[in-house]
Every structure is written in C-alpha cells, then in structure tokens.
A and B are shown apart, each in its own frame.
Chain A
Amino acid sequence: MRRSVILLLLLGAMELLRPLGSAGYGAQALLSFGFLILAAHTVGELAHASRVPKIVGYLVAGMIFGPSLLHVIGAEAIDRLEPVSDLAIALIAFLAGAELQWSEVRRRGVTFLKIMTVELAVCFAAIVALLYGMRGFVPFLATASDARVLAFCLLFASVAIVHSPAVTMALLSETRARGPVARTTLGVVLLTDVAVVLLFSGMLAIARAIAPPDDGGAALSLGMVIWEIGGALLVGVVLGAVVTGYLRFVGQELTFVAIIIALLGAEVASLLHVETLLTLITAGFVAENASRDGRGEALRHAMERSAAPIFVVFFAISGANIDLRGVGALVVLALPVVAVRLAAIWGGTRIGTWWAGMPKEEGRHVWMGLVSQAGVAIGLATVAAEAYPVLGEALRTLLLAVMAINQLFGPIFFRRALAASGEVTEEGADPAGRAPEPAPS
C-alpha cells in the first residue's frame, strides 16, 4: 500500500516536470523506464501478496501505464526499450536450456515427447475445427474461398499452439519449484518450441499449395527451415562449448558473462538466420551439462540473479505492448479460441500423460503449465503476415488478442498447478523450505 502511494506521488511529480522537459538523448524513455520498473515491481509484489504470480503483476503494470491506458510510457519509449526485451528473451532461453539435465532428458525425454505430440495434435485439430466452423462469423473469412479459409485455419492453429518458455522460466525462477510437474512442463514447453517451428513451416508450405498468395508472398523453403533448426542446434552447441571452455579456464565474472552470452547468442543467431531461442536453449543445455565440478551450476545461478530484474522489465514491456483496444475489438472472436485451446490442452495433456505412464496425481496438473503463450508465436505470425499480406495481418491481430488473454491467465494457471501438486506452497516457498527469492549473496 505504501509503495502504491509513493508510486502515485512519483507519477504526480513526473506530470509536474512534463512541461519543462524535452526528449533529447532518450531522456523521456529513461524517465518512463525508471517509472515502469518501480511500477511493475510494486504491482508484482501486490500480486504476490494476493497469491497471483508476480509476472502477472508486471504485465498488468505494463498495461496500466503503457500506451493503451494511462500513456505514462509512450510507444516511442517502448520502441527504445526493445533491446532490453531482446536481451531478456535471450537470457531466458539460455537459462531454460541450462535447467535441462542430460540425465533427465535421457530418463524422461520419451515422456516429454509423448505428452507434447498428443497435446499439440489435439490442440491443433481443435483450433482448426473451431475456426473452420466459425468462418461465417469471422468478418475476414466470411467471403473468402474454402481453400483460403483452410489455409488461414492451418496457419493460425500452427501458431496458436505455441507455449511460452519465458513465462515457464519466470514462474520456476519465482517459485523455485523443481518437482515433476515443473520439470515436465519445462521439458514439454522447450520441446514444443522446436516442434512448432517445424509444424508451422510445413503448414505454410501446405497453405501456399492450396491457396497461393496473390502477390507470391514471402518464400519459405524447406532448406531454410532445416537451416533455421539445424543451424540453431549447431550454433548453440558451438556457443555452449565456448562457454564451457570459459567456465573451465577462466570462470570469473559470471553475471557479466551471462549477459554477454545472451547478447552474443542473439546477435550470432540473427546474423546467421537461425532460430534465436533454440540457439540459446541449446547453448545453455550444452554449457550446463558439459561443465564439471559445479561450474555450470554456478553460471546458472549467476544467470538467475541477472534474470530476476530482467523478468520485471521484460514482462512489464510485454504488458505495455498489449494493445487493449485491439484486444477489446476482437474479444468476441478471441474468447472461443482461448476456451477451445484451453480445453484441448487439458484433453491432450491428460491423454499424453496417460500414454507416457506418468503418475495420475502428477499428470493431471501438467496442462495448466501449458496455457501461456508468447515469444515465438509473434515471430511466426509475422512470417504468416508476410506470406499472406491481407489474411496474415488479420491472423496476426487475432493471435495477439488470444495471446494477450493467455499471457495474463497462463501464469495464474501454472502457479495453481504447482501449488496443487505440492511443489510450491501458497506462500510461495517450495516445500523443501527454500526461500522463493534467491538469498543475498
């Protein structure tokens, strides 16, 4: 409460300064950024006190103070903070990869694969069926030919099934949950990230075959897809090996190194046109598992320390990026998609966990960790928009509305799953008694 009052006072002080200022050297962006950090932190703590994940608080703060509502942080300031978002995504991806242990992949890889396969298949089919059935109520599909409608449905569904590694990592970092539900969710989410890129590429090729774009659209060849995935694995392994070498022979300044790795990985991936997330996930996986004597773990802890403040900024910016008016306009269309996706995830995961032989008590909670979506979905929707300039743009807008809803409620679901499975207490500490936040070092 005290912090909320202080926040309001700061907001008032900023308003007093507004007529005296100018935006030179990004000063306005800096001012907005400072306020956004404090606001997100405050709302995050309020959310935590209400047993809601902090990241939901960060997102809400971004939405409230972003361009959609109070406009304390303008669109220009958000654009200027884009590098911070990129860094955050890269860091989260590396951290996600570092969370995976080789022994766990060997032991439970098949389980992850089975759950993911069924869940994706059910989800994909359900969304395609829903959109195809709803075509008469969707303005931009009502007059389109059958082939174009089918192309749209396939593309939309292949993007809508994406999960969010960022939300998963943020929640695991916040709660320190390390139980089977947490580990299975993380494994499935990371695996889905790879599978969705392949699936989307395949669907884009089918869509182009059944409904060629009017202007030819952007091309996406099989070679490009293979390179995007294979190249990412290759670059990730090399980067991971470099990190392992550094940890072995130098092993100092790990926090700084963590940030440099994330920046470097993102730059290299962008330069070589390979999948950024997969590159960094692979690098994190290799660095963690190839290092000996706890060096990989030391780097992971350093990254977790750097990631805590970056999560605040990343999710607050994500919240500010949500166009509430756009979501409001499409909410009637988006809500059925959200509901069907939710039901399909539930059904698909239940079948998947049963097939994988996962204990019933654990398996029944996994679906709740798969609701969130972000990151890769936006990138894929942009590719679709480039391939089909008219329909693709509609797809992107609808998808952003769906994502906004899922992004907001997904973390709440996941936290409930962790609490229900006993991997985290309602107060936030895990049952082993560790604090929910990293201890001062």
Chain B
Amino acid sequence: MSSGLLLVLVVAAAYLAAHVAFEFLAKRFTIVSGAEYLVLGVLLGPEVSGLIGAGVLDSFGPFMMLAIGWMGAAIGTRLDLAAMLRIRAPFYQVAFLQSALSLAVVAGVMVLLLSYALALPYDAVVVPGLVLGCIAAASSLSGLGVLVRRRLQRRPLVRQLQVASGMDACIAIAAFGLLLCIAHPGPPGDVRPPTPTEWAVISVGIGCLGGALFHLFLAGERNRDRLFISLTGAITLASGAAAYVRLSPLVPALLIGAILVNTTKNRHEITQVIATVQRPLYFILLVFAGAAWQPTTRSSLIPILLFFVVRIVGKLGSARIAARVSGMLPAVGPDWGRGLLGQGSLAVAIALNYWTFDGSLLPNIVFTAALVSVLLTDVLSARFIQAAIRRHDESTGAQLLSDADLPVGRL
C-alpha cells in the first residue's frame, strides 16, 4: 500500500474517530481531542514506520507554515477590542502578571537546567531556554470549550481563565516573534543584515500593512465563499512573507486577525470562517509535528521531563502570585492556575516554528519538550479546569462571587 494512500486513510479514520468518539468522550469523561494526532504523526513519521518520509515532510512544508499562520490569525480574531473593553481591568492585570511570570520563571530555570544537563555555556542555551519559556506560557482553551457547554462561562474564574489564555497566547507569540528577530541568522547574499529592531519592524510591518490592506480588500464582503477565498489568500500571503524572511508567521497573522476583527463590519463572518478551518489545520499540524519529531540524546531526557514539571510549578505559582498581588484571590481562588495547565495548538505551532527556523539551537530538545507537554496535558485540559473550579468552589462555599465582587480597576 502506498504511503500517500495510507496517510489519507489513517488521517481520515483518525479524524472521524476523533470526531465521533471524542464527542462522546468529551461529554462523558471531559476529555479533549487532539493529542492522539501527535501520536499518530510519530507512528507514521520517519522515526517509527517511515510512512511519512522526509521528502513528504518537506513537500508539506508550506502547509505547516500556513497552519502556523492560521493559528496566529485565529488567536488574533479573539482580540476584539469592543468585547475586551467589557471585561474589567483586574482580569487583565492577573492574566498579564501570570503570563509574564510563568514565561520568565520557566525560561530562567530551563536556561540553568539546559546548561547544567548538557554542559553547555549559557549563551548556547539562552535562546532555547527562552523559547521553552514562550511555549510554557502558552495555554489551551480547548478544555474550556468542553466546559463552556456546561454553562460555567459566567463565573469570574472561567472568565479569568479565558482572559489569561488569550493573554498567554499574545505574550507567547510576541516574545517568540521577538526572539526570532534577535536570533535571526541574517539574509542570504550580500544584503546588509538588518538589526533585530529592524527585523521586529519588518515582522510587525507585514502584519500591520497586511491587516490594513486586507481590511480594504475584504471590506463589506459577506459571502462566505468569497470571504473564505480572500482570507485564505491573505493569511497564506502573510504567513509566506514572514516564513520567507525567516520570521515567525504567528506575529503577522495575529496582527492581521486582530486588525480585521476590529475594523471590518463583517467580523463575525471572518471569525467564523477562520475558526472553521482552524480545527482541521490543527490536526494536520499535530500529525506533521509528530512526524517531524526526532529522538533526542539520553542526556537531554532530564531537561525535557523537567520542563514539564517546571512548567506546571511555574504556572501554578505565577497564577497564585498574580492573583494575590492583584487582590483577586477571593474571586478566582489560589489554585486557578490549574485551569491553564493544558497545552495545545499554540505550543505545537511555536515548537514547530522553532524547529524549522534556520540556525536554531537545540531544536530537537525544545520540540520534544513541547510535544511531551502537549501530549500529557491536552487530553486532560478540561479536567484541569474542572479541578480548578472544584477547588475554588470548596474554598469559597461555591458560586458566591460575580463581577460585582471584584476589586475596582481601570483599563
């Protein structure tokens, strides 16, 4: 049987099984679908069965970049300012502190750990450590999606989780984008290498210019098919432009999504179209991420496993500190960070983006650490959130608090 045929069959069967079976599992056992595609990718990849060979991986390179960009655009569409302004400032304060702290703590610890475990100087592990920090900051909303159906979304804790997840995504993408600008290998040929600031301007420029132009391009378009074509072109072009100059497609795509959702009249249609494609693209991304995985050396196993532990500790600790500093502990409880332990599409996208980045340091370790974390937390992300809510209910006597009980703050 040809590898192409087997790939189509397996992906189709997995997708449909996931759709049918996990629909049931999500309702019955609060389990989120996704990580199984990662395992599937590993099994099909060159390291196990070899059905997806290196050539196939290379030929699907553009699709991987497009999927990464699409993730960014999907996150960008969540940045609807009108909706964001309706949420009170303390939620953002807690979310920002939590996110920045977890990134800094995990990055710092991972730099030390990588240096110690691999016997490398600090300057050789700073970039991978920081990328791991960005990956650690990212959290998944998929578990929340399962629980939202259970009418929990009005609770302050759930709102805090939604805000924090969005903030995690923005900070992780911004930090990762900036990092690639700093660690950029430079353009080929005799062109003067732009400075990191110039790369950052180029990265943001692609997003802002693209957002402005595509705003005009899409203006008033409500036909779903034409909108889909235009959006596909826009995101593909922006992702391709960023990948072409070896920057992260996440940053420009996020900006384009944010600009479109805030400036166009057809924001709902745009959000809907992007969301419709996001899920299948995420699954494809997971399959190829799994296939791209390569085993690391034994000495790197310890930092990989420790990353998982450090991230959990970092997330829980920074969430608690952020809530305490902002005076939000009564509203969200000390263990609200549990709801942010799940990882999903963004972590995979960042890891894969780093893995494909020219001149990246320790790409396999970073990639494996991210995949391990996603594998272990994605399925249970809804359960983490459920646990956070349960702990909060136990400690506060359940459901006492609403937005009115929150400390007053300004945006």
A interface vs B, CB < 8 Å? 2-3, 6, 9-10, 13-14, 17, 19-38, 41, 45, 80, 83, 250, 252-253, 256-257, 260, 263-264, 267-268, 270-271, 305, 308-309, 312, 437-441
Contacts and interface: CB of A to CB of B under 8 A. Distances in A.
Nearest to A253: B19
A312 B59 CA distance: 21
Contact of A305 (B2, B5, B191, B225): B225
B234 A21 contact: no
Q: Is the interface of A mostly helix, strand, loop or mixed?
A: helix
Given A20-B245, A438-B224, 20 more contacts: A22-B188, A24-B356, A25-B65, A25-B356, A27-B244, A30-B62, A30-B66, A30-B240, A33-B240, A34-B241, A37-B232, A45-B226, A250-B20, A252-B16, A263-B8, A264-B12, A267-B4, A271-B5, A312-B229, A440-B223
A10 B217 CA distance: 11
A17 B237 CA distance: 12
Given A34-B234, A41-B230, A264-B9, A25 B222 contact: no
Q: Which 7 pairs between the two chains have the least Cβ-Cβ distance? A: A34-B237, A31-B240, A34-B236, A30-B240, A37-B233, A25-B61, A26-B62
A21 B66 contact: no
B228 interface: yes
A3 to B, nearest CB: 6
B15 interface: yes
A29 B233 CA distance: 13
A80 B217 contact: no
A372 to B, nearest CB: 22
B213 A10 contact: yes
Contacts of A253: 15-16, 19
Contacts of B280: 256
A268 B1 CA distance: 9
A23 B206 CA distance: 18
Contacts of B65: 25-27, 30
Contacts of B235: 34
30 contacts: A2-B217, A9-B213, A17-B241, A20-B191, A22-B358, A25-B356, A26-B58, A27-B244, A27-B246, A30-B62, A30-B236, A30-B243, A30-B244, A34-B238, A36-B233, A37-B236, A38-B237, A41-B226, A45-B226, A250-B20, A253-B15, A257-B16, A260-B8, A264-B5, A264-B9, A267-B2, A270-B2, A309-B225, A312-B229, A438-B225
Contact of B243 (A3, A25, A35, A309): A25
B331 interface: no
Given A38-B234, A271-B5, A31 B244 contact: yes
A3 B220 CA distance: 13
B230 A22 contact: no
B209 interface: yes
Interface residues of B, number: 57
A14 B5 contact: no
B216 interface: yes
Contact of A308 (B206, B225, B243): B225
Nearest to B19: A253
Interface string B340-365: 00000000000000001010000000
A29 B237 CA distance: 10
Contact of B20 (A21, A252, A441): A252
B229 A308 contact: yes
Contacts of A257: 12, 16
Contacts of B245: 17, 20-21
A199 B73 CA distance: 51
A13 B242 CA distance: 12
B194 interface: yes
A38 B4 contact: no
Contacts of A37: 229, 232-233, 236-237
A26 B191 contact: no
Contacts of B5: 264, 267-268, 271
Q: Which of A2, A9, A34 has the most CB of B within 10 A?
A: A34
Interface string B229-273: 110111111111101111000000000000000000000010000
A28 B244 contact: yes
A271 B228 CA distance: 33
Contacts of A439: 224
A91 B16 CA distance: 19
A34 B240 contact: yes
B182 interface: no
Interface string B58-94: 1101101110000000000000000000000000000
Given A34-B233, A38-B234, A2 B216 contact: yes
Contacts of B356: 24-25
Contacts of B146: none
B397 interface: no
A17 B222 contact: no
Contacts of A24: 61, 243, 246, 356, 358
B202 interface: yes
Contacts of B237: 10, 31, 34-35, 37-38
